[in-house]
Amino acid sequence: MSIRRTVFFVSDGTAITAGTLGNTLLTQFEGQKFNPTRIPFVDSVERAHDVVTQINEAAERDGAMPLIFSTIVDAAVVAVLQESQGEVLDLFTEFVPRIEKVVGAARSPKVGRAHGISNVSNYENRIEATNYALSHDDGVSINFDEAEVILVGVSRSGKTPTCLYLALHFGVLAANYPLTDDDLESIRLPAFLRRNKHKLYGLTIDAERLSQIRETRRPGSRYASMSKCRNEIGAAEDLLRAEGVPIVSTTHSSVEEIASRILVDLGLERQHY
């Protein structure tokens, strides 16, 4: 009989940070079964008491001590959670005293700032970049000169989700360009891309995976066939190599990993932190 342990992600804000923190730690415990519950906006002692009730109910029901990952600024609210039957792993409790020691100053606690609009111009950049990505998707609009990154690859190689992630998470102006049959035959990029070569990044993907993805969009089409996918990818990789454009494969990488790699390789890190 295996236990499914309840895990709570609790915060005075969105609890997105608490979720990220908890999920990262739980990836280290593969054999275990967890039942995750996110509880955002716990910003008062009263709400904390409600959460304690939920924690204690889960403890009884599961017959297992719940884990509580929390990012709650107000120590009085955290203290309430600590009276529960669960184990509270609180980010601020652990790390703030050590940072205070290094910077030689006490913190100035404010609630729920991590995923709020703490830096307005930063936040607006992210929203503007998202609009930019939407209007510069699949080469529809071709003002590539103001882009910071231009992703190049065959249709369905992962360009759009990666652009949106770069925009929404990092505020990067990311455009994308789908290689056409003409580009692939001439083994040459169009002039408006060549003059932006330092911004180009190529995406590739295994032919089998590409065929699968295309098949869900246009079942039985030539577009989705293995031979078409294999030819397109081969030609695209030849072209990108000939043009000296860096390439990353999206087959086994997430948008987070691809975006991260691109920012480092194109030296865009600093501007976007």
Q: Interface residues for a copy of itself in 97-126 (CB under 8 A)?
A: 98-99, 102-103, 105, 107-110, 113-118, 123
- Residues 6+ away with beta carbon under 8 Å from 112: 11, 12, 13, 14, 41, 43, 73
Q: Which of 134, 187, 235, 266 binds a copy of itself (CB under 8 A)?
A: 134
Tell me how far, at minimum, the Cβ of 191 lies from a copy of itself, in Å. Answer: 29
d(CA 10, CA 245): 44
d(CA 76, CA 252): 44
Nearer to a copy of itself, 224 or 259 (CB): 259
Nearer to a copy of itself, 186 or 254 (CB): 254
Tell me how far, at minimum, the Cβ of 254 lies from a copy of itself, in Å. Answer: 5
Residues 52-91 that bind a copy of itself (CB under 8 A): 65, 67, 71, 73, 87, 89, 91
Structural element, H or E, at residue 202: strand 200-204
Q: What is the 3-state composition of the chain as percent helix, strand, coil, each rounded to the nearest 5? A: 50, 15, 35
d(CA 204, CA 152): 9
- Binding mask of the shown chain, residues 169 to 188, with x at each position contacting a copy of itself by CB under 8 A: x-------------------
Tell me how far, at minimum, the Cβ of 219 lies from a copy of itself, in Å. Answer: 16
Tell me how far, at minimum, the Cβ of 230 lies from a copy of itself, in Å. Answer: 22
Q: Which of 6, 84, 130, 211 binds a copy of itself (CB under 8 A)?
A: 130
d(CA 160, CA 28): 31
Q: Which tokens sit at 62?
A: 């599961």
Tell me how far, at minimum, the Cβ of 232 lies from a copy of itself, in Å. Answer: 20
Nearer to a copy of itself, 1 or 105 (CB): 105
Nearer to a copy of itself, 59 or 235 (CB): 59
d(CA 255, CA 261): 10
Tell me how far, at minimum, the Cβ of 188 lies from a copy of itself, in Å. Answer: 30
d(CA 218, CA 221): 6
The residue count for binding a copy of itself (CB under 8 A) is 76
Pick the closest to residue 42 from 24, 18, 6 (CA basis).
Answer: 18
d(CA 134, CA 61): 46
Q: Is 265 in the site for a copy of itself (CB under 8 A)?
A: no
Orientation of helix 207-217 relative to helix 226-243, angle to 10°: 120
Q: Which residue has the tokens 């000296």?
A: 244
Tell me how far, at minimum, the Cβ of 270 lies from a copy of itself, in Å. Answer: 7
Residues 152-171 that bind a copy of itself (CB under 8 A): 160-161, 164-165, 168-169
Tell me how far, at minimum, the Cβ of 35 lies from a copy of itself, in Å. Answer: 9
Q: Which of 43, 235, 260, 266 binds a copy of itself (CB under 8 A)?
A: 260
